[in-house]
């Protein structure tokens, strides 16, 4: 039996430099030099990506922090308070990045700002409070929170960049594993159902393209091949339309057909969420796996 490589192992695979984490060889990018300027660039990118993948309306400007806090403290209806909490978390993130921008600008002008400086302390405090309130923030699908994604700007501020990039590779591997779990379940569910089995190769193709998309940075020239393949494979999958050849003596066969179509749509959406957010979504993934088992059991009957 071949021994599995250790996490962090590097290898050239088909001309692509890869790093190994938790069972997956992932496209490797060297860590940038650990400077305040590089941290700011990374935090800006992570913050933008975080807001891109979370629910609308929570990207509150940092200068409105006091308003957001007052509204959160004033609200008593739980459902509304959750949203106010998400809006406050957004304001705290933006306040932290505003402060960090000033710190980097001062460093560029020759002014050294130590970690014991009040600006640094305030910046970290905003990041930490935003992380604590992150439990109120949902993915834009409304399915679940994505705490792992929400916590990354804080990690970029507090951890060595090498540690942060290592944790990113771990998250990518875990996300790839969830995509494989969803894909395997869809293959198992639909392979033996005549009217649906043509979707199987489309699903496996999209899963492969999704994993390539996850590991590829937009600044990489390979992205010009990876992204079109990802979009084209999703479009092919979305265009799949099974023909309902079930006998319609009762409403039940038609309901089973519609449930199968809905399950395929849900699976496509979940693979998309995972591949674009690049973090696991354990609650949504498990719900899909359970729903697939229930569908197959009902179909078999």
pLDDT at 247: 53
Residue 278 CA, chain-centre distance (Å), reads: 4
pLDDT at 75: 95
The pTM score is 0.84
Question: pLDDT tens digits for 150-208?
Answer: 778 878 888 888 888 888 999 999 999 999 999 999 999 999 888 898 999 999 999 99
pLDDT at 39: 85
Percentage of the chain beyond pLDDT 70 is: 96
Would you say residue 212 has pLDDT above 70?
yes
Would you say residue 250 has pLDDT above 70?
no
Would you say residue 2 has pLDDT above 80?
no
Question: pLDDT tens digits for 48-107?
Answer: 888 888 888 999 999 999 999 999 999 999 999 999 999 999 999 999 999 988 988 888
CA distance 97 to 159: 16
Question: In the chain, where are the structural domains located?
Answer: 36-158, 172-300
At 94, list the tokens.
């933006």
CA distance 215 to 97: 26
pLDDT at 270: 95
Nearest residue to 179 via CA among 295, 284, 262, 297: 284
pLDDT at 33: 86
Average pLDDT of the chain, as a whole number: 89
Nearest residue to 168 via CA among 293, 267, 45: 45
Question: pLDDT tens digits for 217-249?
Answer: 989 999 999 999 999 999 999 888 887 665 554
């Amino acid at each position: 039996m071949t021994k599995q490589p250790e996490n962090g192992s590097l290898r050239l695979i088909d001309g692509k430099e890869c790093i190994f984490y938790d069972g997956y060889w992932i496209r490797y990018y060297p860590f940038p030099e650990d400077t305040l300027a590089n941290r700011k660039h990374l935090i800006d990118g992570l913050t933008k990506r975080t807001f891109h993948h979370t629910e609308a309306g929570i990207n509150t400007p940092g200068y409105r922090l006091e308003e957001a806090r007052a509204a959160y403290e004033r609200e008593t209806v739980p459902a509304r308070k959750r949203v106010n909490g998400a809006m406050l978390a957004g304001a705290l993130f933006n306040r932290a990045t505003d402060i960090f921008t000033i710190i980097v600008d001062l460093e560029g002008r020759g002014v050294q700002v130590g970690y014991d400086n009040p600006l640094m302390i305030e910046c970290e405090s905003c990041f930490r409070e935003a992380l604590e309130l992150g439990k109120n923030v949902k993915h834009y699908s409304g399915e679940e929170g994505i705490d792992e994604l929400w916590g990354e700007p804080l990690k970029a501020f507090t951890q060595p960049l090498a540690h942060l990039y290592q944790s990113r590779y771990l998250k990518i591997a875990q996300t790839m594993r969830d995509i494989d779990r969803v894909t395997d379940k869809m293959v198992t569910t639909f392979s033996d159902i005549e009217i649906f089995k043509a979707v199987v190769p489309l699903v496996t193709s999209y899963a492969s393209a999704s994993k390539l998309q996850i590991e590829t940075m937009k600044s990489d020239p390979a992205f010009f091949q990876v992204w079109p393949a990802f979009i084209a494979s999703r479009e092919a999958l979305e265009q799949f339309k099974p023909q309902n050849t079930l006998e319609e003596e009762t409403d039940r066969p038609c309901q089973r057909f519609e449930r199968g179509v809905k399950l395929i749509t849900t699976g496509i959406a979940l693979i998309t969420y995972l591949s674009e957010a690049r973090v696991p979504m354990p609650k949504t993934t498990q719900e899909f796996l359970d729903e697939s088992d229930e569908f197959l059991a009902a179909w078999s009957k």
